[in-house]
Protein backbone atom coordinates (compact mmCIF):
# COMPACT_ATOMS: atom_id res chain seq x y z
CA UNK A 1 0.00 0.00 0.00
CA UNK A 2 1.32 3.42 -0.94
CA UNK A 3 0.33 6.12 1.53
CA UNK A 4 -0.07 8.68 -1.26
CA UNK A 5 -2.93 6.61 -2.72
CA UNK A 6 -5.15 6.39 0.36
CA UNK A 7 -7.16 9.07 2.10
CA UNK A 8 -7.11 7.64 5.61
CA UNK A 9 -4.76 5.18 7.24
CA UNK A 10 -3.68 4.00 10.68
CA UNK A 11 -0.15 4.26 12.02
CA UNK A 12 1.44 3.10 15.22
CA UNK A 13 2.53 6.07 17.26
CA UNK A 14 5.72 6.23 19.26
CA UNK A 15 5.16 7.94 22.56
CA UNK A 16 6.67 11.39 22.90
CA UNK A 17 9.03 11.98 25.78
CA UNK A 18 7.25 15.23 26.47
CA UNK A 19 4.42 17.18 24.88
CA UNK A 20 3.84 20.90 25.40
CA UNK A 21 0.37 22.13 24.47
CA UNK A 22 -0.26 25.77 23.70
CA UNK A 23 -3.86 27.05 23.77
CA UNK A 24 -3.07 29.52 21.03
CA UNK A 25 -6.55 30.23 19.69
CA UNK A 26 -8.08 30.94 23.09
CA UNK A 27 -5.80 33.94 23.49
CA UNK A 28 -5.05 34.89 19.86
CA UNK A 29 -8.52 34.30 18.41
CA UNK A 30 -6.95 32.65 15.37
CA UNK A 31 -4.69 29.83 14.16
CA UNK A 32 -0.92 30.12 14.38
CA UNK A 33 0.60 30.79 10.95
CA UNK A 34 3.24 28.57 9.34
CA UNK A 35 5.80 31.35 9.81
CA UNK A 36 4.93 31.58 13.51
CA UNK A 37 5.28 27.81 13.92
CA UNK A 38 8.70 27.98 12.24
CA UNK A 39 9.74 30.72 14.68
CA UNK A 40 8.61 28.54 17.59
CA UNK A 41 10.67 25.69 16.18
CA UNK A 42 13.80 27.85 15.98
CA UNK A 43 13.26 28.96 19.55
CA UNK A 44 12.75 25.46 20.96
CA UNK A 45 15.20 23.38 18.91
CA UNK A 46 18.15 25.12 20.58
CA UNK A 47 16.82 23.99 23.95
CA UNK A 48 15.26 20.60 23.15
CA UNK A 49 17.00 19.28 20.05
CA UNK A 50 14.78 17.59 17.47
CA UNK A 51 11.09 18.39 17.97
CA UNK A 52 7.78 17.99 16.17
CA UNK A 53 5.29 20.87 16.01
CA UNK A 54 1.63 20.53 15.03
CA UNK A 55 -0.76 23.45 14.64
CA UNK A 56 -4.28 22.06 14.74
CA UNK A 57 -7.93 22.91 14.82
CA UNK A 58 -9.22 20.49 17.39
CA UNK A 59 -12.92 19.64 17.70
CA UNK A 60 -14.17 18.33 21.04
CA UNK A 61 -17.64 16.91 20.38
CA UNK A 62 -20.30 15.42 22.61
CA UNK A 63 -24.05 14.96 22.26
CA UNK A 64 -24.58 18.25 24.12
CA UNK A 65 -21.84 20.53 22.85
CA UNK A 66 -19.04 21.17 20.40
CA UNK A 67 -15.89 23.13 21.12
CA UNK A 68 -13.33 24.16 18.50
CA UNK A 69 -9.80 24.84 19.74
CA UNK A 70 -6.84 26.23 17.83
CA UNK A 71 -3.97 24.49 19.55
CA UNK A 72 -0.25 24.04 19.01
CA UNK A 73 1.44 20.83 20.17
CA UNK A 74 5.20 20.42 20.55
CA UNK A 75 6.52 16.87 20.94
CA UNK A 76 10.01 16.15 22.22
CA UNK A 77 11.52 12.70 21.64
CA UNK A 78 12.14 10.60 24.78
CA UNK A 79 15.90 10.61 24.12
CA UNK A 80 15.97 14.42 24.43
CA UNK A 81 14.15 14.57 27.77
CA UNK A 82 16.24 14.28 30.96
CA UNK A 83 15.69 11.15 33.06
CA UNK A 84 16.45 12.84 36.37
CA UNK A 85 13.20 14.11 37.92
CA UNK A 86 14.54 17.55 38.92
CA UNK A 87 16.29 18.07 35.57
CA UNK A 88 13.12 16.97 33.75
CA UNK A 89 11.01 19.46 35.71
CA UNK A 90 13.46 22.28 34.93
CA UNK A 91 13.54 21.25 31.25
CA UNK A 92 9.71 21.31 31.09
CA UNK A 93 9.57 24.71 32.75
CA UNK A 94 12.08 26.16 30.26
CA UNK A 95 10.11 24.84 27.28
CA UNK A 96 6.79 26.09 28.65
CA UNK A 97 8.32 29.51 29.36
CA UNK A 98 9.72 29.74 25.82
CA UNK A 99 6.34 28.66 24.39
CA UNK A 100 4.54 31.30 26.45
CA UNK A 101 6.97 34.02 25.32
CA UNK A 102 6.46 32.96 21.69
CA UNK A 103 2.67 32.93 22.02
CA UNK A 104 2.55 36.36 23.67
CA UNK A 105 4.76 37.83 20.94
CA UNK A 106 2.50 36.36 18.23
CA UNK A 107 -0.63 37.63 19.97
CA UNK A 108 0.80 41.13 20.43
CA UNK A 109 1.84 41.32 16.77
CA UNK A 110 -1.43 40.05 15.31
CA UNK A 111 -4.60 39.49 17.32
CA UNK A 112 -8.06 38.61 15.99
CA UNK A 113 -11.00 40.04 17.85
CA UNK A 114 -12.94 37.40 19.73
CA UNK A 115 -16.61 37.42 18.86
CA UNK A 116 -17.87 34.27 20.54
CA UNK A 117 -16.24 32.15 23.21
Are 17 and 79 in contact, with CB atoms under 8 Å apart?
A: yes
What's the predicted TM-score (pTM) here? 0.81
- Residues with Cβ within 8 Å of residue 114, at least 6 apart in sequence: 29
Backbone phi, psi, residue 66, to 5°: -140, 135
The model's pLDDT over 22-55, given as tens digits with 9 standing for 90+, comes to 999 989 989 999 999 999 999 999 999 999 999 9
Helix axes 34-48, 85-109, angle to 10 degrees: 160
Least confident of 13-27, 64-78, 84-98: 13-27
Residue 116 is predicted with a pLDDT of 46
User: Does residue 103 contact residue 24 with C-beta atoms inside 8 Å?
Assistant: yes
CATH number of this structure's domain 16-109: 3.30.70
Cα–Cα dist 35/23, whole Å: 18
Amino acid sequence: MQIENVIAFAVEQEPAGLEVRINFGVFAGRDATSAELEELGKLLVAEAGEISIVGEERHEISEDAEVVLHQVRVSVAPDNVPDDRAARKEFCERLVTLAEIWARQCINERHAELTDI
